[in-house]
Amino acid sequence: MAQIFSRQANLLTRLVLASLVLGLPLAFFIGGAYYRSGWRTGQDVIRAQPVPFSHRHHVGQLGIDCRYCHTSVETSAFAGLPSTDICMSCHSQLWTNAEMLAPVRQSMAGDKPIRWRRVHDLPDFVYFDHSIHVQKGVGCESCHGRIDQMPLTRQAESLLMHWCLDCHRQPERHLRPQEAIFTMGWTPPADQLAQGRRLAEAHRLDRNVMVNCSTCHR
Amino acid sequence: MPPIKPADLQKIGRQLANRHGKEYWRSLEALAEQPAFGAYLEQEFPRLAEIWNGPVDRRGFLKISAAAMALAGLAGCERQPPEYIVPYVRMPERLVPGKPLFYATTLSATGTGVGALVETHEGRPLRLSGNPAHPASLGALDVFNQAAILDLYDPDRAQTPLFGGEPAAYSRFEAEWRSRYTQLTRQRGRGLHVLTPPLHSPSLAAQLQALLAALPEARWYGHTPLERGGALAGARQAFGQPLEVRYMLERAVCIVSLEADFLGDMPGSLRYARDYSGSRGVHGKRQDSRLYVIESQVSITGAKADHRQPVPPSQLDPVARALAARLGLPVSPPVEQPVPDYWLAALARDLLTRQGQSVVIAGEQQTAAVHLLAHAMNARLGNLGRTIEYYQPPLPSPAQDLAELLAAIAAGEVETLLILGGNPVYDAPADLDLATALPQVPFAVYYGPYANETAAVCRWLVPAAHPLESWGDALAFDGSASPAQPVVQPIYGGIEPLRFLAELRGQLGAQPRQLVRDYWQSRYGDADFDAWWNGSLHDGVFAGMRASAVAAELRPDWNKALPPLPQRQGMELRFAPDPSLWDGSVANNAWLQELPRPLTKLVWGNAVLINPLDAAAAGIAQNQLVQLAHGTWSQQVPAQLQPGQPRGTVTLHLGGGRSAAGRVGNGIGVAAYRLRPAAQPWFTTVQLQPLPAEQQVITTQHHHRMQGREQQLARTTTLQELTAEAARAAEPQPSSSLYPEHRYNGYAWGMLIDIDACIGCNACVIACQSENNVPSVGPEQVRRGREMHWLRIDQYYKGGLEAPKVVFQPVPCMHCEKAPCEYVCPMHATTHSSEGVNEMTYNRCIGTRDCSQNCPYKVRRFNFLSYTGKDALTPAVIGTHNPDVTVRSRGVMEKCSYCIQRINRARMAAQKENRRIRDGEFTTACAEACPTRAIVFGDINDPAAEVSQLKSSRLNYAMLAELNTWPRTTYLPGVRNPNPEIARHEGQ
Amino acid sequence: MNGDAETDRPLARPPLLKPGQTYATATDQIAAIVLSRKTSKGWWLCFGLSSVLALGYLLGAPIIFSYGPGLFGINIPVAWGFPIVNTVWWIGIGHAGTLISAILLLLNQKWRNSINRFAEAMTIFAVIIAGTWPILHLGRPWFFYWLIPYPSTMGVWPQFRSALVWDFFAISTYMIVSIIFWYMGMVPDLGSLRDRARKRWQQVAYGLLALGWRGSVRHWQNYESAYLLLAGFAAPLVVSVHSVISLDFAISIEVGYHSTIFPPYFVAGALYSGFCMVLTILVPMRKVFGLEPYITLRHLDNAARLLLAAGLFVAHGYISEFFTEWYSGSTFERTLGWSRITGPYAFAWWITMFCNVLVVQLFWFKRVRRSPWTLWVLSLVINLGMWMERYVIVMTGPARSYTSGRWDVVWATLFDLATLIGSIGFFFMLMLLFVRFLPAISIFEVRELVREQKEEGAP
């Protein structure tokens, strides 16, 4: 009687079996890679804003201090976005007719707040507090990257949980002296680890507390 | 809970009639377990049916396909929707985004002022707590005033003026009123009638006075469901003038309560609770203070009494006379009264030996005679000026009452009627039928927060602003005044009371702030007024504005005023303010509806409370519908068999059966007012008739015995045993382990709960609910045993059914150092912090519920369905959500976190200053709200901390210590101080 | 000669096959069920019925997924309900297969040959269903994969101290191993099916599944050794899986859960319910497909004996558990014990005792062991009893826990019942499909029996 299967059938079967064995791990690997990528985390994605605000210009070129606009960064969980009158404190004098600043002027005139798109969006069950980080030796740059080189603001880091934990588990690798908190492009000293430990000591950092679940999740 | 056959109850009665000592009797259900068993199975099938009326049928098949997505695990990967940051245009002063601001104000949900602090986030009022600077609060806050924050956001509040039920512009009302007012002024106010609840705001009273002065022939009537005429009448008979009373319980070591629920519903209860517990030197350091309670209901004051006598309401007067006679007062003792002689004799001796440091308190709801006798006894015992002060009622009160208003309406004299608050159509006595009378009034205006029963029969409804939206002031129980300031613009466009009254006088566009300010300037004088005013606003009290005490002389012929002894006939029905719903005005508040009433543990509805023995005699079973009839009036109410309920007396709480309360409160419970005669507001005779129907009473605790676990659960002892060192608790030491014990180097958070100080008032429960975004789940879910309160108050009975002793035991998470819940969680969702807090990480929880299964204290709560989302069964009020606490989704476990958000806030504040957290720098929400400071929280690594001090007491014990869980929350036992004579008699 | 052999040779062990079987007849008859024989009315009836029941499960599950476990009858304190009861019950049922196939194989019990195939199938379907219950029981089921220890972006691992994680491993391992074992065992038969198939689709389908089996000596060699290896690997699972499940309870401190006897007691219970289910299916199947020649009374008898043994072990479990409650002197334990026999859940306890302890005693009598339909009825009874036993274990402890102020009970909702019954229907649905499309009796192993029978039978 005639053969049911051609010769290739054997090969095919083997391939199928092989792909079952190899395919699953591969799929898992690809999935993991995607999950960590910018497509998923929003890292390095530039969000459209009502006003194309350039940190590079204001911070990098004009050298305005972070705290001039982010007023509550040292006192509150929320760093604070500048209220319109802060923008207008300069722009009532400078670029008073610039097309790109129209939304700001309208906001002031119409008493309508500007709706900025949030760039660094942590899940709602994560309770991040700017003030404590800023006061305990974590520089803006450590999380926000070289903001002074960003024409348009983007999320510099993945903000994945293990990224947070990397620092919470070994703060000494990132801590900087208080005067360098708001500086961009700070280069760690050769003995960063030693200095980091000294700082951690001075700040009375309790590493056990820093990795408690309830430190970030309530 | 299954119904219980009367036969079983007689059995119980015999078993327990006079049983004493430490063994706790089995709960009624437990006793009747075998007969109950059949009933359980019967219950099953209705439940099967109910599930279809549950969440499912309301939603489409879409959800189910969504579930398929969930199956595929896609829900795990969904992105958050884009978020926007909307900064201010101009940043308000002193506002730091992300940091709360606190304002002091005064609330008066129960008719007298209580100082409160309002927590606001970015201008959003969020939470209410007590104002430590206020005499009526001292930092504590009662359930009604705490829950007021929920009403602020209640979408059922009146949102616009209604004209004949149709929305109308306020300007239109103003126009109509202006024309009417000019006419009224022409006829000097004739035809204008004003009906108000009792006033508690001086500035408002002044406005009203001004209105009445402008229209001299207008008439002013008063009405309140919480009638307390007896108090003032009694004082008038005793002293010749109506006087208000101030008790100084911190100085009283022998307190006799003639049904004065001074820990519960009496004005100033918060302050009294603090003073009372102070006088008992709680936290194990006991003085020889004693409390006797004679009452005709079950109250938390009675539950805390060292000796309690349940008597029918009509018998309070005879008992008071008998006591007075024994104290040597010129009163003819009654031939018979229910309290045994040895008991009264012992009480009298106790009182006489402690003259000047004792006090006899008559309840607000008692007759003039009882008050008169109380005044006389206090005078006899030399307590006047020592433990009692009197002061003149600071505010005017109306001369006429509701009955007279009805007469006027019937006579057609009422052309214009102003009803300023209250809800008379709902809460008027049954024989005053306003519902039919009011429509006869050509121009009736109802001014109130809700479009309620009264508004429905008035021509106009003018929506009132919420107290947190209004300027004003209020008098506390002791006659001290304090300011009330708004923290938010009227959310639903309500009109502030001061503005409304001013505009009634034609003063359009009056500024309430200016009005109240001017009033107090007139009281204080102009000298440095601004400083005083701003200081008062900041502190939340008007410094130096307290009604001064007056010397009171007992009239020599006082006893002539005593009426003839009341005759007692048959079963008596006692009305009482609902421990959770008050007079029913707050019926639309889900927090309060779901708040387990002390002693009854009822939620979502009221029931007729009847002593199990009476029930057995009448053939009434638990949950059985009973027809209560008084004359031609009748109501059908489910029965709740209540141990300790006086024999021959049934209690029905006010506040149920609202028809126009709102979506939450409508149709919950039964309206007691429909049985209430105007003549006898607080008790009357009643016929009980069991009906062949059942309606399940929803309670949160089904079992009130300790099963011989007294040492493991809630301990009690007596002062005698303490002093005799007899009751030294052999504390089972945590057995040592093979492994080296963990050291807690930093902070070690711990809590101590003093069962002796706990009065079971529920303030902590509501405080926790509002601090931690605890959802209300609705009657159906509670009936299934799924209430979400993180902090519950377990309650156990001791002794017979007639007058059992009661133990309250607040039970939050124990935060065990060796927590059974932690090692069974497959997800690391519940873990142990380095400071010993048992953390619950919601976002890591997948809902296996193994932690709850393994929790010996059963303090964990689970989101069985969506209780907070858009599809929630009782939608959460977003406005009150605490931004520092995660709102839990369906399918996650939750529990007491020791207010971890407060710990973190305090820790960060301290770290910024490189210092340790100071003791008392912060505390948990429950401890903050507790009037008797029964809950103490702090760092047990700090030997100086109050909590460590208290935990060092030899009485300190851990619940179920033998399980070796090492709880961080420990207890001090309840301590009673029985009168040796009585104890001997009762063979204790 | 016909009729049971014992009638004329009472002392000899009755044969495993009806005499007069040849390789050809065996192969033909069994293969025929799958290939040529027209689907019987009985099959259609059972299939229709079971698939209707299955709807309760197939529709109930998604609804519960979308609304949450609140649709089950659970609360605080009794936070575990039907889903856990069902898990334990189904896993138990899933135990017979591996026992029969692996352990009896290693013990060289030839009688297993004609029943191992479908016993394994039973195992697989039961375990698959059992595996769905814990997920259905979760509050947020879509996150169940967090139980897998993979390097996640959270930098957190599952907690390996938790018995629930061991569960996950135990069940999934068991499922995978039994599937491989089952499939491997079928390969030779699939080969012969392929060869005898006449229809094109059958040839292709069985051909693919047969993985090019040619029955060459080398094939047989590899096959035998691999099969033996797998058997050796599977055997320990019989003991381990249910022991691990039992630890969900045993390692906790809850009253009535915290009990060291649970592992052996659960395993015994598992075999007990497993063999019950074997009988429940065996008896009707041999009738419907006329398999009496291959599944003889001897098989039923042996199964019944095993059942009796397991039953006695379980009874011992009950007694010692009760004894411990009393002997511990702990007020908590004693209260629970008393509540089990008098409390709200007493009905379940009494049913358990009746079904699992009393009824099984009938198996002492040969007449009972040898009358198929009696066995069938009794097996149903015991299945019920075993379910009730798990119900008692799961519900009573929390309902009468340490803090007496929190005592409460819960009752089944519509969803509890619908999904449970539905899962049973689903199970039978799968079984019927299996019997219809795959060789329910191992053809080549029966051939071995035939040969042996010849040798025995030769004078």
B826/C168 touch (CB, cutoff 8 Å), yes or no: yes
Question: What is the Cα–Cα distance from B692 to A181, expressed in whole angstroms?
Answer: 77
Q: Cα dihedral angle (B903, B909, B912, B913), rounded to 10 degrees?
A: -110
pLDDT score of C8 more than 70 = no
Nearest by CB to residue C159, choosing from B708, B825, B852, is B825
C251-303 per-position pLDDT tens digit = 999 999 998 899 999 999 998 999 899 899 889 888 877 788 888 888 888 88
Nearest by CB to residue B912, choosing from A78, A135, A215, is A135
**Cα angle, residue B91 at apex, residues B87 and B95 outer, rounded to 5°:** 105
Through-space distance between the first and last CA atoms of chain B, rounded to whole angstroms? 32
**Cα angle, residue B815 at apex, residues B809 and B821 outer, rounded to 5°:** 110
**Residue B587 in contact with residue B593, Cβ under 8 Å?**
yes
Give backbone dihedrals phi and psi of C267, rounded to 5 degrees, phi first: -60, -45
Residues in chain B within 8 Å Cβ distance of C139: 845-849, 862-864, 890-893
Residues in chain B: 988
The pLDDT, as a whole number, for residue C359 is: 93
The residue ranking higher by pLDDT, B549 or C28, is B549
Biggest CA-to-CA distance, chain A: 96
A160/C208 touch (CB, cutoff 8 Å), yes or no: no
Span C68-97, average pLDDT: 93
Pairing of strands B388-391, B549-550: antiparallel
pLDDT score of C128 more than 80 = yes
Q: Which chains touch A (3 or more CB pairs under 8 A)?
A: B, C
Residues in chain A within 8 Å Cβ distance of B884: 127, 218
C67/B825 touch (CB, cutoff 8 Å), yes or no: no
A128-148 per-position pLDDT tens digit = 999 999 999 999 999 999 999
Question: What is the Cα–Cα distance from C340 to B699, expressed in whole angstroms?
Answer: 24
A84 burial level (CB within 10 Å; 0-12, 13-18, 19+): buried
pLDDT-derived band of residue C81, with 50, 70 and 90 as boundaries?
Answer: very high
Nearest by CB to residue A4, choosing from C150, C156, C203, is C203
Whether residue C149 lies within 8 A of chain B, CB to CB, comes out as no
The pLDDT, as a whole number, for residue B644 is: 94
User: For testing the chain C interface, which of B41, B65, B707, B863 should be mutated: the one with the most C CBs within 10 Å?
Assistant: B707
Please, which residues have CB within 8 angstroms of residue B811's CB and are 6 or more apart in sequence? Answer: B791, B792, B793, B794, B857, B859, B959, C403, C405
Nearest by CB to residue B34, choosing from C140, C342, C414, is C342
Residue ranges in chain B modelled with pLDDT below 70: 1-79, 282-286, 725-736, 870-877, 988
Question: What is the Cα–Cα distance from C65 to C142, expressed in whole angstroms?
Answer: 9
Closest-approach residue (CA) in chain A for C156: A162
The pLDDT, as a whole number, for residue A3 is: 73
Quickly tell me which residue has 């009973």 as its tokens: B626
Span C6-22, average pLDDT: 57
The pLDDT, as a whole number, for residue B987 is: 75
Residues in chain B within 8 Å Cβ distance of A212: 831, 833-835, 837, 839
Å between C417 CA and nearest CA of chain A? 36
C155/A13 touch (CB, cutoff 8 Å), yes or no: no
Closest-approach residue (CA) in chain B for C133: B848
Structure tokens at B477: 């129980």
Closest CA to C268 of C202, C355, C356, C338: C356
Give the sign of the dihedral formed by CA B420, CA B425, CA B431, CA B437.
positive
Span C424-445, average pLDDT: 89
Residues in chain C: 459
Question: What is the Cα–Cα distance from B500 to A5, expressed in whole angstroms?
Answer: 94
Question: What is the Cα–Cα distance from B29 to B19, expressed in whole angstroms?
Answer: 19
Written as one letter, the residue type at B313 is P
Give residue ranges of C with CB < 8 Å to any A CB: 150-156, 194, 203-204, 207-208, 211-212
Enumerate residues 340 to 369 of chain C having a beta carbon within 8 A of any beta carbon in chain B: 342-344, 346-347
Question: What is the Cα–Cα distance from B594 to B641, expressed in whole angstroms?
Answer: 20
Å between A133 CA and nearest CA of chain B? 10
User: For testing the chain B interface, which of A37, A107, A214, A217 should be mutated: the one with the most B CBs within 10 Å?
Assistant: A214
Quickly tell me which residue has 């639903």 as its tokens: B492
Span A189-201, average pLDDT: 94
Which DSSP letter does residue B333 get?
P
Please, which residues have CB within 8 angstroms of residue B125's CB and are 6 or more apart in sequence? Answer: B118, B119, B149, B152, B468, B487, B488, B879
Nearest by CB to residue C153, choosing from A10, A28, A162, is A162
Residues in chain B within 8 Å Cβ distance of C398: 853, 858
What would the 3-class secondary structure string for chain C be?
CCCCHHHCCCCCCCCCCCCCCCHHHHHHHHHHHHCCCCCCHHHHHHHHHHHHHHHHHHHHHHHHHHHCHHHCCCCCCCCCCHHHHHHHHHHHHCHHHHHHHHHHHHCCCHHHHHCHHHHHHHHHHHHHHHHHHHHHHCCCHHHHHHHCCCCCCCCCCCCCCCHHHHHHHHHHHHHHHHHHHHHHHHHHHHHHHHHHCCCHHHHHHHHHHHCCCCCCHHHHHHHHHHHHHHHHHHHHHHHHHHHHHHHHHHCCCCCCCCCCCHHHHHHHHHHHHHHHHHHHHHHHHHHHCCCCCCCCHHHHHHHHHHHHHHHHHHHHHHHHHHHHHHHHCCHHHHHHHHHHHHCCCHHHHHHHHHHHHHHHHHHHCHHHHHCHHHHHHHHHHHHHHHHHHHHHHHHHHHHCCCCHHHCCCCCCCHHHHHHHHHHHHHHHHHHHHHHHHCCCCCHHHHHHHHHHHHHHHCC
List the beta strands (DSSP E) in B267-382. 290-295, 307-310, 358-362
Percent of chain C clearing pLDDT 70 (strictly above): 94
| CA B253 vs CA B249, B363, B417, B457, B719: distances in Å | 8, 19, 50, 51, 14
Å between A161 CA and nearest CA of chain C? 5
C192-245 per-position pLDDT tens digit = 888 888 888 888 889 888 888 888 999 999 998 998 898 888 888 888 999 999
Enumerate residues 34 to 63 of chain C having a beta carbon within 8 A of any beta carbon in chain B: 62-63
B200-209 per-position pLDDT tens digit = 999 999 999 9
Which DSSP letter does residue B256 get?
E
**Three-state DSSP state, A33:** helix
- In B251-275, which positions are buried (b, 16+ CB within 10 angstroms) versus exposed (e)? bbbbbbbbbbbbbbbbbbbbbbbbb
Residues in chain C within 8 Å Cβ distance of A9: 212
Through-space distance between the first and last CA atoms of chain C, rounded to whole angstroms? 15
Å between C357 CA and nearest CA of chain B? 24
C211/A13 touch (CB, cutoff 8 Å), yes or no: yes
Give the sign of the dihedral formed by CA B500, CA B506, CA B510, CA B513.
negative
The pLDDT, as a whole number, for residue C15 is: 65
Through-space distance between the first and last CA atoms of chain A, rounded to whole angstroms? 73
Nearest by CB to residue C401, choosing from B781, B847, B856, is B856
Written as one letter, the residue type at B745 is N
Half-sphere exposure for C15 (CA within 13 Å, toward CB) = 26
User: For testing the chain A interface, which of B95, B101, B773, B834 should be mutated: the one with the most A CBs within 10 Å?
Assistant: B834
Whether residue B60 lies within 8 A of chain C, CB to CB, comes out as no
Q: Which chains touch C (3 or more CB pairs under 8 A)?
A: A, B
A114/B86 touch (CB, cutoff 8 Å), yes or no: yes
CB pairs under 8 A between A and B: 133
User: For testing the chain B interface, which of C55, C140, C395, C420 should be mutated: the one with the most B CBs within 10 Å?
Assistant: C140
Closest CA to B36 of B805, B838, B702: B702
Whether residue A162 lies within 8 A of chain C, CB to CB, comes out as yes
Which DSSP letter does residue B480 get?
B
Nearest by CB to residue B98, choosing from A76, A135, A214, is A76
Please, which residues have CB within 8 angstroms of residue C176's CB and are 6 or more apart in sequence? Answer: none
Which DSSP letter does residue B713 get?
S
Å between C368 CA and nearest CA of chain B? 35
C417/B70 touch (CB, cutoff 8 Å), yes or no: no
pLDDT score of C191 more than 70 = yes
C138/B846 touch (CB, cutoff 8 Å), yes or no: yes
Question: What is the Cα–Cα distance from B698 to C217, expressed in whole angstroms?
Answer: 75
Nearest by CB to residue C155, choosing from A4, A28, A161, is A161
* Residue B125 bridge partners (DSSP): B120
Span C165-184, average pLDDT: 91
The pLDDT, as a whole number, for residue B39 is: 36
What is the C-alpha R_g of chain B? 28
Nearest by CB to residue B89, choosing from A77, A111, A215, is A111
Closest-approach residue (CA) in chain A for C199: A4
* Residue B163 bridge partners (DSSP): B166, B460
Q: Which chains touch B (3 or more CB pairs under 8 A)?
A: A, C
User: For testing the chain B interface, which of C402, C416, C419 should be mutated: the one with the most B CBs within 10 Å?
Assistant: C402
Give backbone dihedrals phi and psi of B251, rounded to 5 degrees, phi first: -95, -5
Residues in chain A within 8 Å Cβ distance of C155: 161-162, 165-166
**Three-state DSSP state, B736:** coil
**Residue A48 in contact with residue A117, Cβ under 8 Å?**
yes
Nearest by CB to residue B891, choosing from C139, C342, C344, is C139
Beta carbons within 10 angstroms of residue C323's beta carbon: 11
Whether residue C145 lies within 8 A of chain B, CB to CB, comes out as yes
C150/A4 touch (CB, cutoff 8 Å), yes or no: no
Give the sign of the dihedral formed by CA B8, CA B13, CA B14, CA B19.
positive
Give backbone dihedrals phi and psi of B308, rounded to 5 degrees, phi first: -125, 140
Whether residue A28 lies within 8 A of chain C, CB to CB, comes out as yes
Percent of chain C clearing pLDDT 90 (strictly above): 57
pLDDT, averaged across chain A: 91
